[in-house]
């Protein structure tokens, strides 16, 4: 005989007890492991997606809205053989079936049209894959093929955005060109994920619509010959080395710069973007004798009643002789205005505002002198920067630039003659300072830099290449491979989410296990008593029982791991078919990690053994004498007085804490209601259960009933096994609390959607376009045919609920705070303007104030604090590659808004930081709710060429809310399973109670109680337990949900609550009835003998 | 130890149980000394406190006041572990209900107290000897469920003696047995008392059982008085 033998004897003899323990362990481990495995599967799938979308690409240089020479990729490879680089031309576009097959509304917007060379396919996971794309041939991904229903050999109509090399919003920028180009291509192949079909740099699991075309063909189609805007590079080269090679390989043309040598050996630097960037300008200033100039087109130059319209003027060339209020004019202008030195001339010019409108300003200057030498004028004529759409036209009336012009004035004969004779030769010269004051804008304030004639072009090139840091111009490689993995690493923890959702189910399993085990132990109290009487110390007895339970717990957990695999598969199937919105429609593949299984097994074993230990501890508290002599089936053990006082006191403290939390929430209106909700709920449940325990204690100690009745007998019975009564009521209360509260959290997003304070801002339509709509608000009104608030967009990560990855740099909207403030949009109270004023908050240099798109974006998407004082900051790069930070000074106050997942900054800041983001791509359209659908359809139809995607704003809210609603449904369903398990637990308690009281039942039977009365007594007793639990849970839920209802748009549906209540009552009543019928003997008389 | 030396001494022991409105006084000023090898019967009506007294002597319960000395040592000064060790080594219990571990065989039940003793050599033989003494030599591998009430009680006696206790406490050992079994059990207890030399204290209702002891005391009104 040994302790081991003693333990194994107990294990085999009490196998029924251990079977219960095993079942509990299997359930607990299965649910826990299953939930964690769902997390693993999501994580694995996101990693697989990240890997598929990038293939073997590790670095990418993306120059949005700008272009570098595609030969740069070749130069990099030549400099370092470790580098495999491919230049791409990635443009936005729209795809549809050819006109003969096209059906209304089946155009795909926001398509990535990517011009690729053959070397691009080497980055695919399927390394041997290659597709040779000729002109007008395309390879599309599966998503595009499926959306359009096309296959290889079919034709596809592409409409591709055609960004200019110059920012389209810039003054003097050509409006001549069409913004899109259409072409019919033939589909050559449909690409799988392993063939880079999913290629995208966005940290998002959503598959884009990808159309790959021939690189050169796309360059030609979009007039970007020799240019690219994206370069991808393989891994295996440290980022530092890559940048070092880049620094050696780039040239001025890669930044859109060109050097021009005049006939007089002047070298001039110009930019294909008209205005020269700050970093380049800084570099030019390191060359002594360099002169910056600014050429502009002014509306008029006049002296008295003599005037000449639309004239080129130049600032900077004559700085050595001019003061800031003086100008030099050419002979032609002097003759036109009859002006000479000392006269005053007035100049009217247009100034560009952030909303793309121009305002006319004027300024007077004193004429310093007249440029008399032809040579000087010839130089200026020769060095006048070339403006596409302006420089090479025959007549002034052919000018197509981004500034409003008066047709009548354009036709001025004298001016026309001047144009024909002298072209762009400036008529007037100011100092650079004066010119920049007048014509400087967000795109820059220098159009050319001249270098001393002593420097050759190659010397200038060499110096500038040395001085300019390409990364400061935005020409830099980002470690996109690493960033993708980082985004997945910081993605939503679905394992945690499902553990949270399955929490009640796990608790229910453990309580069930506890009940089963404790009942079993109660049958073994004498065993404990014997061992104690035989001299075993309490700890040794505990150790024996504990060690006896260990193998069962471990085996249960091991089996539970298998059950967990099945549970995870079930959940994934449910996600795929019932709850796709929870993972934004992403296909989640099943994946097992051994470490997760071990964690699940370990955690479940630990939980089970803790429950076992608690049961054993409780069982061995009594003296050996009590253990040997007490009949636990009939005994009522009263807790000591001091314990009763403690329970009452702690319950009162918990009640006070709940009340204090409600008051706190009411006063402070915190950002997140989740913590207060669970705090109030937990405190109230604790308080209620404490009072309930005290009430049961009172019933147990009550004085004799003078007038006994059946009901009083039932009440007395409730108090007999307070532990069991409390377990049943507690389990039911917790379950009901969760189910009622979660079901009450459903929100009706459409309820106040027409109000300005809603997440729609009161706008009827939220519209987006693939190609930007250009122009002033008036132009847009004309284009859209309806009143709209236009927004500028800088694409970025989606920090909303539809992106499972962690957003690194969310999408930015440039908004006009004055306009939205005037409308009172998105503000809680009409007339309140503090919200939008936050966007104009002056902050330190390089920090831009931003509002989070809604409170869910701040809290869940970004997990960041908002506030003027303590708001978090996010790092960004501006268009020229300069770092800046966005500070979250506030957020739109509603939980869900049409801006979910994005940040809002002021239009001023936006245009300053991203001047090349031309035009507007998002529109909030004011239209009555009943006309929203119709107007949206009209917009989609009329503006199809821009890739217009308009929909009622409320449907966008519904789309976001679908995710939350899905989580709530999942929570409810899993909570419902928990309640079923809880009902099973109640059933076990009922059965146990009935079995223990068979002799008592037999006695009552002998005393003349009919079976029906006995049934009623037992049903009423246990029904009262469940009902008490439900009422306690419902009360706690009501109190916890109260602040949510009062402070948010939460609406409680009495019908849903009533149905839930009915379902719980019915399921519990069924469970109780079945168990009472099973337990109640047909003929109780034989059990009298036991008495 | 000299046979005249007391194994256990109770001095002015009181035992109350909490009750409403007042505590229930069970034992009142009990003083008692039991010598080594002595056979003592304690009798009295139901509910008079006989079992309570036995539980106090067996350290299964604590007195409300008074002192209990076991071999001269005050048991109230012992730690719970010390008391457990005392029960294991020095005291044997036989209950009215046998309280055997149903999962263990007869032999294993007898050996359960011996598991706590470091030097386990010879316990197998002693258990076999004791079971032979109680007439269960052929039932070593039976489970309690396969034995009659008298046999189970005899296993309990053997278990009580496995660690050679100085004091054997028997609480109504014949209470659940028929006449014949009861007599056999008493014979056996007396035989073992002589053989093993331990003091024997029997709480009983049965006059015939009590009559076979050397000394008989009665609890009357909570106090212990000699029985004529």
pLDDT tens, position by position, A992-1041: 878 877 777 776 766 667 777 778 888 888 888 888 888 888 888 888 87
Across A275-279, A328-332, A640-644, B192-196, least confident range: A640-644
Band (B135; pLDDT cuts 50, 70, 90): confident
- Residue whose token pair is 């048991």: B75
**If interface means Cβ-Cβ distance under 8 Å, which residues of chain B face chain A?**
51, 55, 58, 60-61, 80-81, 84-89, 91, 93, 95, 99-104, 107-108, 111-116, 124, 159, 163
For residue range B56-65, list pLDDT tens digits in order.
898 888 899 9
The answer to whether A948 and A939 have CB atoms below 8 angstroms apart is yes
What mean pLDDT value characterizes chain A?
Answer: 84
For residue range A468-524, list pLDDT tens digits in order.
888 888 888 989 999 888 888 877 777 777 777 777 777 777 777 787 787 778 778
The answer to whether A578 and A974 have CB atoms below 8 angstroms apart is no
Q: How many interchain CB pairs under 8 A, A with B?
A: 76
Tell me what pLDDT residue A178 has: 62
Band (B98; pLDDT cuts 50, 70, 90): low
| Yes or no, beta carbons of B115 and A2 under 8 Å apart | yes
Q: Which residues of A touch B99 (CB under 8 A)?
A: 526, 529-530, 533, 628
Residue A315 has pLDDT above 90, yes or no: yes
Distance from CA of B140 to the nearest CA of A (A): 12
Q: Taking CA atoms, what residue in A is nearest to B115?
A: A2
Provide the 8-state DSSP code for A1090. G
Nearest to A624 among B60, B101, B124 (CB): B60
Residue A668 has pLDDT above 60, yes or no: yes
> Does the beta carbon of A531 lie under 8 angstroms from any beta carbon of chain B?
yes
Whole-number Å distance between alpha carbons of A487 and A482: 9
| Yes or no, beta carbons of B89 and A12 under 8 Å apart | no
Query: Does ipTM top 0.85?
Result: no
CA distances from A253 to A189, A199, A258, A273 (A): 35, 28, 6, 12
For residue range A784-815, list pLDDT tens digits in order.
777 889 999 999 888 887 777 788 889 999 99
> Does the beta carbon of A704 lie under 8 angstroms from any beta carbon of chain B?
no
Tell me what pLDDT residue A90 has: 94
Q: For residue A769, which of A753, A784, A754, A782 has the smallest C-alpha distance?
A: A784
Helices B123-133 and B179-196: crossing angle in degrees, nearest 10, is 140
Three-state secondary structure call for residue B82: helix
| Yes or no, beta carbons of A531 and B61 under 8 Å apart | no
Band (A324; pLDDT cuts 50, 70, 90): very high
Tell me what pLDDT residue A85 has: 94
> Does the beta carbon of A530 lie under 8 angstroms from any beta carbon of chain B?
yes
Quote the tokens at residue A284. 């030019």
Q: What is the mean pLDDT of residues B79-94?
A: 85
Adjacent-strand bridge partners of A161: A180
Three-state secondary structure call for residue A82: coil
Higher pLDDT pick, A953 / A575:
A953
The answer to whether A529 and A628 have CB atoms below 8 angstroms apart is yes
| pTM: predicted TM-score of the whole model, two decimal places | 0.73
Distance from CA of A14 to the nearest CA of B (A): 8
Tell me what pLDDT residue A1091 has: 38
| Yes or no, beta carbons of B88 and A535 under 8 Å apart | yes
Q: Which residues of A touch B51 (CB under 8 A)?
A: 629
Tell me what pLDDT residue A848 has: 93
Q: In this structure, is the dihedral angle defined by the CA atoms of residues B85, B90, B92 and B93, taken in order, positive or negative?
A: negative
Residue A652: CB atoms within 10 A of its CB come to 13
Whole-number Å distance between alpha carbons of B68 and B33: 10
Q: Which residues of B touch A2 (CB under 8 A)?
A: 115
Q: Which residues of B touch A530 (CB under 8 A)?
A: 99-101, 112
The answer to whether A156 and A257 have CB atoms below 8 angstroms apart is no
Report cis status (omega within 30 of 0) of the bond before B21: yes
For residue range A874-913, list pLDDT tens digits in order.
999 888 778 899 999 998 888 889 999 999 999 989 988 8
Q: For residue A854, which of A926, A957, A781 has the smallest C-alpha distance?
A: A957
| Yes or no, beta carbons of A9 and B113 under 8 Å apart | no
Tell me what pLDDT residue A176 has: 53
Among B64, B82, B103, pick the best mutation site for testing chain A contact (most A Cβ within 10 A). Answer: B103
Q: Taking CA atoms, what residue in B is nearest to A12?
A: B103
> Does the beta carbon of A621 lie under 8 angstroms from any beta carbon of chain B?
no
Across A208-217, A628-637, B51-60, B131-140, least confident range: A628-637
The share of chain A scoring above pLDDT 70, in percent, equals 92
Residue A177 has pLDDT above 60, yes or no: no
Q: What is the mean pLDDT of residues A770-790?
A: 81
Among B97, B99, B158, pick the best mutation site for testing chain A contact (most A Cβ within 10 A). Answer: B99
DSSP A401-424: BSS---HHHHT-HHHHHHHHHHTT
Quote the tokens at residue B130. 């004791």
List all residues 6 or more positions away from A745 whose beta carbon is below 8 Å from its beta carbon: A968, A1041, A1044, A1050
Provide the 8-state DSSP code for A85. E
Quote the tokens at residue A589. 């593949």
The answer to whether B31 and B224 have CB atoms below 8 angstroms apart is yes
Q: Taking CA atoms, what residue in A is nearest to B101?
A: A527
Three-state secondary structure call for residue A295: strand
Band (A925; pLDDT cuts 50, 70, 90): very high
Distance from CA of A652 to the nearest CA of B (A): 27
For residue range A695-728, list pLDDT tens digits in order.
888 877 766 555 656 676 777 777 777 777 887 8
Residue A254: CB atoms within 10 A of its CB come to 23
| Yes or no, beta carbons of B58 and A538 under 8 Å apart | no
Q: Which residues of B touch A9 (CB under 8 A)?
A: 101, 103-104, 108
> Does the beta carbon of A822 lie under 8 angstroms from any beta carbon of chain B?
no
> Does the beta carbon of A16 lie under 8 angstroms from any beta carbon of chain B?
no
Residue B20 has pLDDT above 70, yes or no: no
| Yes or no, beta carbons of B102 and A537 under 8 Å apart | no
CA distances from A814 to A290, A663, A848, A867, B63 (A): 36, 38, 12, 19, 84
Adjacent-strand bridge partners of A1073: none
Whole-number Å distance between alpha carbons of A188 and A192: 13
Q: Taking CA atoms, what residue in B is nearest to A625?
A: B60
Band (A530; pLDDT cuts 50, 70, 90): confident
What mean pLDDT value characterizes chain B?
Answer: 84
Most confidently modeled range among A39-53, A288-302, A824-838: A288-302
Pairing of strands A428-430, A326-330: antiparallel
């Amino acid at each position: 005989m040994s302790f081991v033998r003693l333990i194994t004897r107990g294990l085999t003899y009490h196998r029924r007890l251990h079977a219960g323990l095993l079942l509990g362990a299997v359930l607990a481990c299965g649910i826990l492991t299953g939930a964690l495995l769902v997390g693993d599967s999501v994580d694995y799938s996101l990693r697989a997606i990240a890997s598929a979308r990038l293939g073997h690409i590790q670095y990418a240089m993306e120059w949005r809205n700008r272009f570098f020479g595609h030969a740069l990729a070749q130069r990099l490879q030549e400099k370092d053989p470790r580098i495999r680089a491919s230049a791409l031309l990635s443009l936005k576009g729209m795809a549809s079936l050819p006109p003969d097959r096209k059906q209304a509304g089946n155009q795909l917007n926001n398509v990535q049209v990517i011009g690729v060379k053959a070397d691009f396919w080497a980055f695919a996971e399927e390394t041997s894959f290659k597709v040779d794309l000729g002109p007008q041939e395309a390879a599309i991904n599966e998503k595009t093929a499926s959306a359009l229903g096309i296959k290889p050999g079919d034709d596809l109509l592409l409409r591709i955005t055609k960004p200019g090399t110059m920012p389209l919003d810039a003054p003097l920028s050509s409006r001549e060109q069409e913004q899109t180009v259409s072409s019919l291509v033939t589909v050559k192949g449909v690409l799988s994920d392993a063939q880079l079909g999913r290629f995208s740099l966005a940290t998002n699991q959503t598959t884009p619509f990808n159309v790959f075309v021939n690189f050169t063909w796309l360059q030609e189609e979009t007039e970007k010959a020799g240019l690219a805007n994206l370069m991808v590079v393989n891994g295996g080269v440290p980022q530092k080395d890559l940048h070092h090679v880049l620094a050696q390989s780039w040239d001025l043309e890669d930044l859109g710069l060109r050097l021009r040598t005049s006939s007089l050996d002047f070298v001039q630097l110009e930019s294909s973007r008209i205005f020269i960037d700050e970093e380049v300008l800084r570099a030019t200033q390191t060359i002594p004798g360099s002169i910056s100039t600014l050429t502009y087109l002014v509306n008029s130059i006049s002296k008295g009643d003599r005037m000449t319209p639309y004239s080129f003027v130049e600032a900077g060339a004559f700085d050595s002789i001019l003061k800031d209020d003086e100008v030099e004019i050419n002979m032609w202008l002097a003759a036109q205005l009859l002006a000479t030195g000392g006269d005053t001339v007035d100049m009217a010019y247009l100034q560009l505002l952030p909303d793309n409108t121009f305002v006319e300003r004027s300024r007077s200057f004193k004429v310093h002198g007249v440029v008399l030498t032809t040579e000087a004028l010839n130089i200026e004529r020769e060095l006048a920067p070339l403006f596409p759409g302006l420089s090479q036209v025959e007549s002034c009336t052919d000018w197509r630039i981004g500034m409003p012009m008066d047709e009548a004035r354009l036709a001025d004969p004298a001016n026309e003659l001047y144009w024909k004779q002298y072209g762009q030769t400036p008529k007037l010269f100011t100092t650079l300072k004066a010119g920049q004051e007048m014509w400087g804008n967000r795109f820059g304030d220098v159009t050319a830099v001249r270098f001393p004639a002593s420097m050759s072009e190659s010397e200038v090139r060499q110096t500038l290449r040395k001085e300019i840091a390409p990364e400061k111009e935005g020409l830099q490689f980002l470690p996109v491979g690493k960033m993708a993995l980082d985004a997945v690493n910081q993605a939503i923890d679905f394992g945690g989410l499902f553990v949270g959702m399955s929490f009640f189910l796990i608790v229910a399993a453990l309580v069930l296990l506890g009940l089963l085990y404790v009942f079993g132990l109660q049958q073994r109290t004498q065993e404990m008593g014997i061992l104690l009487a035989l001299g075993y110390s309490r700890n040794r007895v505990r150790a024996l029982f504990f060690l006896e339970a260990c193998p069962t717990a471990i085996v249960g957990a091991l089996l539970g791991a298998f059950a967990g695999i099945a549970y995870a598969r079930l959940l994934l199937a449910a996600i795929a078919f019932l709850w796709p919105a929870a993972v934004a429609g992403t296909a989640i593949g099943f994946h097992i990690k051994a470490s997760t299984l071990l964690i699940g097994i370990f955690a479940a074993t630990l939980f089970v053994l803790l429950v076992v230990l608690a049961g054993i501890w409780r069982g061995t508290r009594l003296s050996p004498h009590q253990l040997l002599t007490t009949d636990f089936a009939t005994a009522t053990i009263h807790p000591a007085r001091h314990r009763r006082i403690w329970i009452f006191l702690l319950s009162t403290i918990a009640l006070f804490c709940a009340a204090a939390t409600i008051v706190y929430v009411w006063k402070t209106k915190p950002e997140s209601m989740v913590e207060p909700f669970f705090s109030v709920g937990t405190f109230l449940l604790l308080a209620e259960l404490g009072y309930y325990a005290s009430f049961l204690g009172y019933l147990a100690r009550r004085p004799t009933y003078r007038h006994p009745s059946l009901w009083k007998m039932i009440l007395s019975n409730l108090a007999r096994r307070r532990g069991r009564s409390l377990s049943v009521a507690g389990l039911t209360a917790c379950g009901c609390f969760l189910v009622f509260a979660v079901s009450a959290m459903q929100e009706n997003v459409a309820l106040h959607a027409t109000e300005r304070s809603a997440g729609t801002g009161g706008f009827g339509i939220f519209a987006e376009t693939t190609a930007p709509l250009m122009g002033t608000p008036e132009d847009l009104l004309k284009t859209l045919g309806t009143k709209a608030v236009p927004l500028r967009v800088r694409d970025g990560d989606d920090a909303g609920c539809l992106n499972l990855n962690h957003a690194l740099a969310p999408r930015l909207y440039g908004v006009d705070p004055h306009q939205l403030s005037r409308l009172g949009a998105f503000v809680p109270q009409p007339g309140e303007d503090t919200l939008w004023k936050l966007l104009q908050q002056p902050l330190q240099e390089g920090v831009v104030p931003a509002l989070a798109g809604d409170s869910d974006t701040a809290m869940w998407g970004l997990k960041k604090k908002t506030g003027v004082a303590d708001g978090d900051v996010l790092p960004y790069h501006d268009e020229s590659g300069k770092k800046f930070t966005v500070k979250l000074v506030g957020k739109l106050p509603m939980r869900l808004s049409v801006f979910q997942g994005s940040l809002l900054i002021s239009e001023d800041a936006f245009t300053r930081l991203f001047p090349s983001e031309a035009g507007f791509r998002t529109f909030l359209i004011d239209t009555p709710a009943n006309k929203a659908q119709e107007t949206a359809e009209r917009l989609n139809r009329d503006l199809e060429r821009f890739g217009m995607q308009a929909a009622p704003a409320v449907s966008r809210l519904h789309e976001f809310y679908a995710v939350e609603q899905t989580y709530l449904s999942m929570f409810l369903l899993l909570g419902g399973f928990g309640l079923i398990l809880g009902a099973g637990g109640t059933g076990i308690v009922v059965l146990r109670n009935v079995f223990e009281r068979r002799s008592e039942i037999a006695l009552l039977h002998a005393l003349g109680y009919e079976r029906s009365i006995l049934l009623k007594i037992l049903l009423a007793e246990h029904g009262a337990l469940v009902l008490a639990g439900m009422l306690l849970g419902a009360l706690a839920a009501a109190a916890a949900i109260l602040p949510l209802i009062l402070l948010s748009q939460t609406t409680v549906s009495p019908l849903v609550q009533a149905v839930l209540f009915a379902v719980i009552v019915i399921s519990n009543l069924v469970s109780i009835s079945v168990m009472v019928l099973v337990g109640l003997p047909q003929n109780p008389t034989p059990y009298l003998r036991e008495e | 130890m000299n046979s005249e030396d007391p194994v256990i001494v109770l001095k002015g022991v009181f035992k109350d149980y909490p009750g409403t409105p007042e505590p229930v006084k069970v034992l009142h000023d009990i003083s008692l000394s039991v010598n080594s090898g002595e056979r003592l019967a304690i009798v009295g009506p139901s509910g008079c406190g006989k079992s309570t007294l036995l539980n106090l002597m067996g350290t299964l319960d604590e007195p409300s006041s008074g002192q209990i000395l076991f071999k001269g040592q005050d048991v109230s000064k012992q730690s719970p572990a010390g008391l457990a060790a005392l029960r294991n080594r020095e005291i044997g219990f036989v209950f009215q209900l046998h309280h055997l571990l149903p999962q263990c065989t007869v032999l294993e039940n007898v050996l359960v107290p011996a598991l706590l003793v470091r030097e386990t050599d010879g316990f197998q033989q002693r258990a076999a000897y004791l079971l032979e003494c109680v007439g269960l030599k052929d039932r070593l591998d039976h489970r309690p469920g396969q034995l009659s009430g008298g046999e189970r009680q005899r296993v309990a006696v053997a278990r009580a003696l496995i660690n050679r206790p100085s004091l054997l406490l028997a609480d109504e050992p014949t209470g659940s047995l028929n006449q014949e079994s009861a007599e056999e059990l008493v014979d056996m207890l007396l035989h073992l008392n002589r053989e093993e030399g331990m003091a024997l204290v029997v709480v009983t209702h049965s006059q015939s059982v009590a009559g076979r002891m050397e000394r008989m005391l009665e609890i009357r009104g909570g106090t212990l008085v000699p029985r004529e």
